[in-house]
Structure 1
Amino acid sequence: MKKILLIGALMAFTSGLCFAQDNVAYKASLTKMMEVSGSKAVYDSAIQQMISMMKDGKSNVPEAFWDGLNAELSKQSVSSLTDLLLPIYQKYLSLEDIKQLILFYQTPVGKKFAEKSPMIMQESMKAGGEWGAKIGQEIAEKLKEKGY
């Protein structure tokens, strides 16, 4: 009986180690994918925008403080964001999928897509807002036609 418990505990321990190694490899690949896809640059830009907004209201704070804070947050925040995104990506994409995405983003078209994605996203959000307003207006008109 002791042997069975010992073997079971050993199997659980080694499978946990394998999972931890897989998790480390996945996180490293996800981090790389975020870099080559341009996502990291977008996150860094968001941090800079937040600091800039805070900076406007705090003119008495030295520039060196803001520079140091920006460097610190850029390093920490992207890592902590990656930790938050890790289980989401793992839920939908395998490690091999992430590796294939990295390869894609290293191609000329992948690099172009990564470079243009922020502008595409911004313009798409504007177009989506206009589309949503139009649909909302149509629904309101239909309700009015029917007397509701």
Structure 2
Amino acid sequence: MTRETLQLDVSITYGLPRSGIPAAVSFRRWVRAALEGRIRQADLAIRIVDAKEGRAFNRHYRGKDYATNVLSFPADLPEGLPEGVRLPLLGDLVICAPVVAKEAREQGKPLAAHYAHLTVHGTLHLLGWNHEDDTEAECMEGLEREILAGMGIDDPYQEG
């Protein structure tokens, strides 16, 4: 049996200077790892933002007045896609660079590994994975560990 190659289009935009932020090729690799074997074709966008923009997104879409590390916006919203927009649109991720950097420092993790984890985490949300209860969280975290280990990245949930 042959394995189909994932057809993937990832657009990355920056709302702040790119210094200290992993290269676009890294984000694409992390998304591919999260999607490989789970979907055949996907288009998604990643926006890397500063704290002000991250806070605005979180306040507007989640009603929480602070910047958070990653927000996922699946394309298959209950109201459906706008007319003329067709799948394989998977959705959008918003990653807040200052929050990611602060968390990596506080948790003693390599910055790139934390970006990889949050990119995989957000991408799994786009596929419908959640962590609303303990059972869902255990399943999602297990899958994240497996995907990250496949890229040589340590367990993000292991306490230092």
- TM over 0.5, yes or no? no
Q: Considering fraction of residues, name the structure with more strand.
A: 2
Q: Considering fraction of residues, name the structure with more helix.
A: 1
Query: Which protein shows a greater Rg?
Result: 1
